[in-house]
Structure 1
Amino acid sequence: MQHKTIKVLNFLFLISLFSFQIATCQNKTKIDSSSSFNTILFKVTSTDHKNVSYLFGTHHAFGKTFFDSLSKANQALKSCDVLIKENLNIQGKMAEDIINKRTTEVKWNKYLVKEDLAYVEDLFANSPTDYKKMTPTEMYTFLNRYFKQQICLNKNANDTSLSLDDYISSKATEQDIALYGLETTEEQIELINKDVEGMPRRTHKRRLANIINKIRTENSNSCEETDWYSQMQIDYKLDTTCTNTLILTDRNNKWMTSISNMLKQKNCFIAVGLSHLMFDCGLISQLKKLGYTITPIEVK
């Protein structure tokens, strides 16, 4: 693959937290399972109030074209009073702002061979983010998302269009729908790094070398995740225990406090990474336990 320098690289990598859990969800789906649904959209209703809300499981590498094709999801968003998403992009408090304020630089020659380091330098040549101040974990997270967008979804290297989550946010703003973030960008960055805290340098080196090689060779054999999501034949494994306490269980539990309160007051469109809807700690299971009726809705 002949590398193309990105003219504007919006470093919104942190919402790619989804990629840390998705590997546990990629087993072939069982459509006859009671927790298998051919959708990523669910209606949320209760006998205690008249509000009608929706859960929408996102994949952050997708964007405008994908969401615009989902007529029912667009109708659901339009019917709501507030959009609830993982985080809000606030000027001065975005990932690039947080990273650029750091005073410590990573010695990348300890993590990347000369050729790979040159590739990264070229990639970030016109980026507002100082890659020298990123951690190896943050770099891997960014490159992993870049791989999914450029190789798996064939997104043009100079395409600066929004991620799926942020595109939904822009649609909500156009329709005067209020926005609510469940956590801050800073909290998400801390989680990304804490999730692999203590990982040996040799493991970081191997992961970075592998993902750069996949991008260079346009290795679409590793695109199961995006293929799986776009097909929307998903086993939500609602009876399966969550295995990642930090990224899934703890965050879901924290989010539920805000979500349950807002569902009683407003018609809400909740757009979060698909894995947060899955498993016994997911939002679907937790809302069911609170007495809500969760109804799968076709997105088109």
Structure 2
Amino acid sequence: MKNIIVLLLAFIAYANVGFCQEKGLFYEISGNGLVAPSYLFGTIHLICEEDFYLGQQVLEKVKSSQNLVLEINLDDPNMMQVVFSNINNPSGEKITDYLNDDQFDATQAFLKENASVDINMMKSMRPFMLLSMLYPKILDCETKAYELELMKIAKQNEISIRGLESIEDQLAVFENIPLEEQYKNLYDYVLDFEKGRRDFLQLIETYRSKDIERMVEMVSESPEYKNYQGILLDDRNHNWLSPMMAMMKEGNMFFAVGAGHLGGENGMVNLLRKEGYTVTVLEE
């Protein structure tokens, strides 16, 4: 069931401009009065199993941490209830209010073939829910999710799991993006699915190269997301800063968030440095 949330995480795009110059996915946070360092690891929410990698140093720091802190607490027993209670557009809008008959028929056929979903029976389902169902098909491989793998390690070592925001916070992000644009993005995937696949695979390859600056630049150039950088990334990064600082005062924390949140003027690395912390890239 948690795979559904991981697909939603994958949909929330990386849409920031590059600022942090060094390459790397793994950082130590120290100084500024901290009694123990904490760690910040950039994930990609879905990746082919053969490309999945967690370095020894990452594994050691997770196992020795006081808490594993994700974007949202995927171990929250109430999470799925919240998701399913918000699966439809809040005011009852339907996909047929935004797509004409030909567009709807094409989208219905595509989702039935590629995601085994018949949207004729769920016309009010939120567009990002429908689009998230296509991510396994985009990769077309056995997949792993960094968040779920990190959770397994945490549970094996009896480490508590926390979140920087609630699932309600993440769902609310989409309230600020017009439904017309969300359904247009869905239909654009139907029209040129191979382009969507190429773009996503290129994003994964850039993640594997640890080139965070290029990764966020790629997505900031995408027409779907560039107008919503503040909503999708900047605002959330700023909102995470206070709880991160409060948690680090408690002890050694291991933060794992989407890699697109690390770079940029409003990225977590720069925001933490501006608060007076020493943020040092580590080999992962």
Count of residue pairs brought into register by the alignment? 265
For residues 4-61 of structure 1, the C-alpha deviation after alignment (integer angstroms, 9 at most, x for no partner) is xxxx994223212542516x55xxxxxxxx9432320001111623312111111112
Equivalent residue for 1:204, pick from 183, 200, 207? 183
Equivalent residue for 2:240, pick from 224, 248, 255? 255
Kept in 1: contact 2:87–2:129 (CA 8 A): no
Compared CA separation, residues 229 and 18, structure 1 to 2 (3 A):
farther
> What is the DSSP-based 3-state SS (H/G/I as helix, E as strand, rest coil) of the residue aligned with 1:80?
coil
For residues 114-170 of structure 1, the C-alpha deviation after alignment (integer angstroms, 9 at most, x for no partner) is 24302323555479xx85442224433543x345533xxxx24xxxx6522222122
Kept in 2: contact 1:42–1:296 (CA 8 A): yes
1:51 and 2:65 are equivalent in the alignment: no
Equivalent residue for 2:212, pick from 206, 218, 234? 234
TM-score by length of 1: 0.73
> 1:282 — aligned with what?
267
Aligned pairs for 1:77-226 (under 5 A) are 77-89=62-74, 90-94=76-80, 96-100=83-87, 104=92, 106-108=94-96, 110-111=98-99, 112-123=103-114, 125=116, 131-143=122-134, 145-146=135-136, 148-150=138-140, 155-156=141-142, 162-194=144-176, 196-197=177-178, 199-200=180-181, 204-205=183-184, 207-215=185-193, 219-220=197-198, 223-226=201-204
Kept in 2: contact 1:108–1:117 (CA 8 A): no
Provide the C-alpha distance between the structure 2 equivalents of 1:216 and 1:181, rounded to a whole number of angstroms. Answer: 34
1:11 and 2:1 are equivalent in the alignment: no
Specify which structure has the higher proportion of helix.
2
Question: What percentage of residue pairs aligned between the two structures are identical?
Answer: 20
Provide the C-alpha distance between the structure 2 equivalents of 1:84 and 1:136, rounded to a whole number of angstroms. Answer: 28
Letter in 1 for 2:126: T
> 1:76 — aligned with what?
61
Provide the C-alpha distance between the structure 1 equivalents of 2:13 and 2:162, rounded to a whole number of angstroms. Answer: 23
Structure 2: runs of 5+ lacking an equivalent: 217-226
Compared CA separation, residues 225 and 193, structure 1 to 2 (3 A):
farther
Displacement of 1:225: 1.0
TM-score by length of 2: 0.77
Kept in 1: contact 2:20–2:265 (CA 8 A): no
CA RMSD of aligned residues (A): 3.5
Q: RCO higher in 1 or 2 (8 Å CA, sep ≥ 6)?
A: 2
Provide the C-alpha distance between the structure 1 equivalents of 2:189 and 2:138, rounded to a whole number of angstroms. Answer: 10
> What is the DSSP-based 3-state SS (H/G/I as helix, E as strand, rest coil) of the residue aligned with 1:48?
coil
Provide the C-alpha distance between the structure 1 equivalents of 2:138 and 2:53, rounded to a whole number of angstroms. Answer: 19
Letter in 2 for 1:77: V
Displacement of 1:236: 7.9
For residues 183-232 of structure 1, the C-alpha deviation after alignment (integer angstroms, 9 at most, x for no partner) is 111221120342x22645xx733x32332355468953663211111111
Compared CA separation, residues 9 and 39, structure 1 to 2 (3 A):
closer
